[in-house]
Amino acid sequence: MSQSDSLVEEVIERNPQEKHLSDYRPSDYTISTIDLEFDLFDSQTKVKAVSQVKRVNTEVTPLFLFGESLTLISILVDGVAYSDYQLVEDGIVINQLPASFTLEINTEIDPVANQAFEGLYKSGDAFCTQCEAEGFRRITYYLDRPDILAKFSTKVIADKALYPYLLSNGNQVDQGDLENGRHFVSWVDPFPKPAYLFALVAGDFDCLEDNFVTKSGRDVKLALFVDKGNLDKTQHAMVSLKKSMQWDEQRFNLEYDLDIYMIVAVDFFNMGAMENKGLNVFNSKFVLANSQSATDQDYLGIEAVIGHEYFHNWTGNRITCRDWFQLSLKEGLTVFRDQEFSSDLGSRSVNRIANVMTMRDHQFAEDAGPMSHPIRPESVMEMNNFYTLTVYEKGSEVIRMMHTLLGEEKFQQGMQLYVQRFDGQAVTCDDFVAAMQDASGIDLSLFKRWYSQSGTPHVYVTDHYNSSNQTYQITFKQKTLPTADQKKKLPLHIPVDIELLDSNGNAIELLPGKTNRVLSLTHTEQTFVFKNVLTKPVPCLFRGFSAPVKYQYAYSDEQLLDIMSFASDEFSRWDAGQTLFNKYLVKNVKALQNVEMLSLPEIFIDGFKSVLVSEDLDPSLVADMFAFTSENGARELFDVVDIDAIHTARDFMLQEIATQLHELFVDTYLHHNELKAYQPDIEDIAKRKLKNSALAFIARVDKKLANEYVLAQIDACNNMTDYLGALNAANSGLLDCRASVMQAFDDKWFETGLVMDKWFALQASMPSDNVLQNIEALFNHRSFDFSNPNRLRSLVGAFAQNNTYRFHNIDGSGYAFLTDQLIKLNSQNPQVASRLITPLIQFKRLDEKRVELIKVQLNRLLALPNLAVDLYEKVTKALVQ
């Protein structure tokens, strides 16, 4: 059998198979340049791709190029028609090629029919692309892998009246008019990049222009493109972009490198945004904002995502991944950078709390579920399934631990060395760690296990105080439980940031001039001794969430209250409050299971009362102190999850807090209920956040008063945050006004999809037994579009992910409902389906009846004759857990 036939046979085998990191091999061919020409039509777009290709070995091997949903027109090698090739399901095999040559491939594609929103597709009236991870193969046959870096030039041709803006990567070099009302624009990107960073957009937009002068004096043009009529919602995004550019220069000494930076907002987009070189394509959710249509959280989210994609210019674009198993190289690092950006511009403690809530509520569950994987996975079936909280959020925590161990100065030295070594290359996570180690002189060889080991470590803490010699001894034991992908676990290098409080609540000096110290836990069991400790201290453990672990220490209620009152780290104060709440949640769940009375002690209520009346705490932090562990997050507290008991116990506790602190909640609400011109600044955001938190608690106890407050707030408010805060109270409290205020909101905003997403999410989270029937009826709502990922996430996703008790209804209706939607999405948009399925596959610790009900639905999916690989991977792994 010839080498060519062998390759064809290998590619034809289409049973879903895992790809392994260990199988990585450099390509036999490289591509130095690719010149693209697009002649855009709705259903018959012509793509001409001319590449300079070189074989890197002496043996004549076939060239395999990836391709999907393409119509091949012709292939030319060095300008001559070529026929020695075979089309296979995943692409094309070209045989008997010279050592270096010019390859021209002409294809035709159908953007309108592309409902997967990968490659080139239509979003409304505009053409746009999404090529990460493997979308470029839907545009032309190509070496679509991240370690093939080429210089791209792009010529875009289209109808001038319909598509006056023709955009692509790099700098614009030419434009002109053509026959039949068509025109062209040519772009050249001077920096080599992988195909996943390619972008093209063609449409008729409103455009906000500005400029930014870099620290070296270069004048960069900034352009933000949005659908017609949305220009008034772009100013915040532009301000956020300029802040991002300035911050990256100041904090990381990284400067922008092209003449223009463009952002385009589109409505139909599977992701949040995409960092394509010089031309970022964004989900409009993360661009459009004004006070009437966007909440404070929208403003903050836009700032963070704009920053994230801009920061990718260096950590992702100029230096990219060798292979997709290294995805956290760019994403974990860039999430860390955007978190630091948000913290430097806003409240560090509030941002940290939000990040940790995501970890505890969702990433820990991913670690314990069937899709458990390290931040650098070892295997995968579908590359889109790599885009996980583990790779992004836990990946960021791993970078943060390095920052904690090295300190800011040495970390920045490591970043500079990383950039110097690898600019213009596709590299690995090991390369990044090596740069950090070499620049700092700190041994990170044990620390690297975080990249290859999955699961959430458990740290068990005990202590002993010796009053005779005034020494305090604290012992840590670490253990990581077996996960679906790994049975054997090794000790990790865990940084433990610790503070000790004395009997008066004062922090004890642990290092000269410092009251905190970072301990390096590197063994299965390790003891640290502190001398000259005059009284038994209260330990504040894992300050700032210094490691993504679960830890257990037998805190008394009094110790937790001391930390809530006196810890210098605001995160530790919040964490102590969460620990206190969780402690009694576990007790009350056990009480329910033993048919005993539910209760909350007076010391618990007094502790949170002191938080509510504090004049020293940031109002946003106070609000966070009352944003207790969600029902999803609470599942991580139990080895066996009792859905009904968790819901009942948690609801009881929230009701008790609302009842016993009712007057204080009313006072808090009235104190912060001031009407002034809307500003999304830190101080005003904090006040609105606390006010609306208080309103939700009032709605639990005094329905009549809450009803009055809700109607008055809606009538007087001048911003979406307060409008939505009132709607949330009406919805969660099932107030009498709920139906009328929800209808009024619908009538006002039904033509604005992004605003209606908030309304759909409220409908999906309604704490009512008939919520599912309501959701099904909303599929026929005038504002709902099943093909729009944002609408799906806001209605279907919000129900399955956030309305935990009703999604897990013991009759199985929630499971059947979600499966029905996944079946519809399987052939239309499997990438969105793969994200929505998560609550259905994390069932391992549920009761036997629910497990069986879920398995019935998963087997429905498995029985589909055309089940997409995205879903196949998750379903099969779930069924064998």
HSE-up of residue 146 (Cα within 13 Å, Cβ side): 25
Instruction: List the structure tokens of 662.
Output: 């009712």
Tell me the β-bridge partners of 142: 66
**Segments in 180-225 forming alpha helices (H):** none
In angstroms, the Cα distances linking 843 to 858, 860, 878 are 11, 16, 8
Torsion of the alpha carbons at 410, 415, 416 and 422, rounded to the nearest 10: 140
Using CA atoms, how far residue 848 sits from 400, 616, 632, 662, in Å, is 39, 48, 18, 40
Beta-strand runs (E) in 308-418: 320-321, 379-380
Q: How far apart are CA 456 and CA 361, in angstroms?
A: 13
CB 743 within 8 A of CB 709: no
For tokens 């990249």, name the residue: 451
Six token digits for residue 844: 């391992």
Other residues' Cβ atoms within 10 Å of the Cβ of residue 723: 22
* Residue 179 neighbours by CB distance under 10 Å: 5
- Retrieve residue 312's tokens: 């990718």
Cα–Cα distance, 656 to 533 (Å, whole number):
39
Q: What is the DSSP letter of 71?
A: E
Determine the Cα–Cα distance for residues 796 and 781; give it in Å rounded to an integer.
14
Angle (nearest 5°) at CA 475 between 474 and 478: 140
309 is catalytic: yes
Side-chain-side CA neighbours of 733 within 13 Å: the count stands at: 31
How many Cβ atoms sit within 10 Å of the Cβ of residue 532?
A: 10
Question: Which one is catalytic: 104, 275, 303, 309?
Answer: 309
Please, how many CA atoms are within 13 Å of residue 796, restricted to the half-sphere of its CB?
A: 30
Per-position DSSP letters for 393-440, written without gaps between them: IIHHHHHHHHHHHHHHHHHHHHHHHHHHHHTT-EE-HHHHHHHHHHHH
Structure tokens at 314: 């260096």
Residue type at 601 in one-letter notation: P
Which is nearest to 415 in space by CA: 309, 519, 334? 334
Report residue 869: phi and psi, to 5°: -60, -35
What Å distances lie between residue 471 and 406, 521, 536, 666, CA to CA? 28, 20, 9, 47
Alpha carbons 200 and 131: distance in angstroms, whole number: 10
Alpha-carbon distances, residue 631 vs 595, 646, 798, 853 (angstroms):
21, 7, 14, 20
Q: Is residue 492 classed as helix, strand or coil in its secondary structure?
A: coil
Burial (0-12, 13-18, 19+ Cβ within 10 Å), 23: exposed
Peptide bond into 878 cis (omega under 30): no
Report residue 10 as tokens: 């290998």
DSSP letter, residue 170: S
- DSSP letter at 373 equals -
β pairing state of 126-130 and 63-66: unpaired
Which residue, among 415, 489, 391, 403, has the nearest Cα to 449 in the 3D structure?
Answer: 489
Region for 441 from its dihedrals, namely left if φ exceeds 0, alpha if ψ lies in -120 to 50, beta otherwise: left
Q: Which helix (H) or strand (E) holds 212?
A: strand 206-213
Q: Quick one: tokens of 572?
A: 């530790």
Across 667-699, b (16+ Cβ under 10 Å) vs e yields ebbeebbeeeebebeeebbbbbbbbbbbbbbbb
- Report, as residue numbers or ranges, the catalytic residues: 309
